[in-house]
Amino acid sequence: MTENISTTEQRPYHHGDLHRAIVGAALDVLSESQSTEFSLRELARRAGVSHNAPYKHFADKRELLGAVSAVGFELLAKRMADATKELDSPRERLAAIARAYVCGGVNNPALYRLMFGGYLGGGQDNGRPAIERTAAHSMKALVVEAICDGALGRHIPNTAANARTIDGAILIFWSQMHGLTLLLVDSLVGPSGKIEELSEGVLQGMLDGLANCIPEVPDGVWVGPPPAE
């Protein structure tokens, strides 16, 4: 969803707004068409600028989609933060984060697949764009905070000594929520009107299991945005 970036509200564009204008147009097209099969020329036309204007800010389409994905992570992090700001219980915060995550993916599957799929990992360095990794780390921090504050039944200090335990908990959490999101998006689980109840049931079952055992990830494994190469 693109409620925080409206191409119509930004017109007319000045040069300093061009980056935002192109990203906003891409978000709109992605949401409307549910496809990344659009051209920079099409975005320029929608934004009301010359067809060469996008290249002043983006070397190619992959760089543009990296910026779009970064905004997707920013919007998702904001949705998560808004969902948890009135909640004191770490377990309730993690449940709210889960609901926000699943609803975000179901509401805009194309943006979700861009953010969490392999398209942007296919560059020459086989890494995700730096702008996207930074935004994704901000989202991950909300999950880490809830887990460390006691969402799994005990406090886990956010220290290097506990890094593999924290990542193990995140891996279980993310696997469950990511899997549920894709099952809902692909209509393998439904109906879509039961998203909150489904995510709540999956989450509570998972949290009960993690309260008994948090498997550490193997040494050298990362969870979340991969490190820059």
pLDDT in tens, 138-177: 889 999 999 999 999 999 999 999 999 999 999 999 999 9
Tell me what pLDDT residue 122 has. 56
pLDDT in tens, 83-100: 999 999 999 999 999 999
Q: How many residues does the chain have?
A: 229
Tell me what pLDDT residue 90 has. 94
pLDDT in tens, 85-144: 999 999 999 999 999 999 999 999 999 999 988 767 655 445 677 778 888 888 899 999
Mean pLDDT of the chain: 84
Q: How far apart are the first and last CA of the chain?
A: 31
The per-residue DSSP string of 194-207 comes to GHHHHHHHHHHHHH
pTM of the model: 0.82
Residue 104's identity, in one-letter code, is: G
Identify the residue whose tokens are 């389409």: 61
As separate numbers, helices (DSSP H) first and strands (DSSP E) second, the chain gives 9, 0
Structure tokens at 9: 């509200």
